[in-house]
Structure 1
């Protein structure tokens, strides 16, 4: 009798473990996943080797930080500047979207440290996007470290199907835990 009870208990624990692994797999696949910041292209907002949580729910909005597949082996982290159909340009270090100037408070600290303009003037046509507007189903993204970022100015608009998700939670290093606003 004791052997049957032990086998039942072992089976219950095995089922619980399988269910827990399945739930963790589903959460990681469809809801959240960790990512490590690589490089300095998002400084001063994000720093090399910080660890973040990526949310796979919802569509990216303007000024969200997104993670997308640059290639099969490489993911990039950048900020959404232009949505499909937007006209994006920079003049005299000011962002214009559809002719309306936008403030970028997340760049204020960095602007104080840089001599001259942080973001050189450009229109979408002058970038790798090569059109007047952000194409349908794509995003125009920039790194916060505009002078040291390989972004849509260089690699073109990002297809939505390459976007893994949005992120704004740094969870490591523990002394740097923070939620990043837009």
Structure 2
């Protein structure tokens, strides 16, 4: 009888350790995210599932073109690309990104630009001051855009994103299995 009690206790301990480990990993390190919508097409597709690295920005800072997850005002999690960092001047002219006056290539947009048939730009021209009435991205904030520029609710609509709202960085698509990949 004592042997059965001991075995039951060992199984209970193992189950508790497993549950606590999963909770700690999910809360502090990795969490699943569901891509809801078409704002990051063609990089990310609607209904794909990804892992968010919650620890990434505990040891480092966001970089331009990172794909991040943040909590928006509506309580939804958004997946967008970092375009402007604190202190930077951001603008778009002739479908080209300029940061502090320097033009940047955005190779992840090339596929969509080739598909445009109306002759218009993928990204409408703007300056940061048009959007947030400041010349540069404020300290502690990021300027983010979706890759599907014509159909993305991003910093052009919701303003800059506070570092406090950033849940983490994401790169790994794990579902559907056939689309398993790292994205840049």
TM-score, normalization by structure 2? 0.94
In the TM superposition, what whole-angstrom CA distance separates every residue of 1:42-72 from its partner, at most 9, and x where no partner exists?
Answer: 0011011000000012232110111100136
1:47-126 matches, within 5 Å, as 47-57=45-55, 58=57, 59-71=61-73, 73-114=75-116, 115=118, 116-126=120-130
After alignment, is 64-73 or 31-40 more displaced? 64-73
Q: Which runs of 5+ in 2 are unaligned?
A: none
Establish whether residue 177 from structure 1 lines up as the match of residue 175 from structure 2: no
In the TM superposition, what whole-angstrom CA distance separates every residue of 1:127-169 from its partner, at most 9, and x where no partner exists?
Answer: 1x22110011000000000000010011000011000101011
Moved over 6 A (4+): none
1:65/1:166 contact within 8 Å kept: yes
Establish whether residue 18 from structure 1 lines up as the match of residue 16 from structure 2: yes
Go from structure 1 to structure 2 and tell me whether the alpha carbon gap of 1:111 and 1:72 turns closer, same or farther (over 3 Å shift). Answer: closer
Establish whether residue 146 from structure 1 lines up as the match of residue 149 from structure 2: yes
Aligned residues: 178
1:119/1:147 contact within 8 Å kept: yes
Q: Which runs of 5+ in 1 are unaligned?
A: none
Query: How far off its partner does 1:16 sit?
Result: 1.0
CA distance in 1, matches of 2:9, 2:73: 43
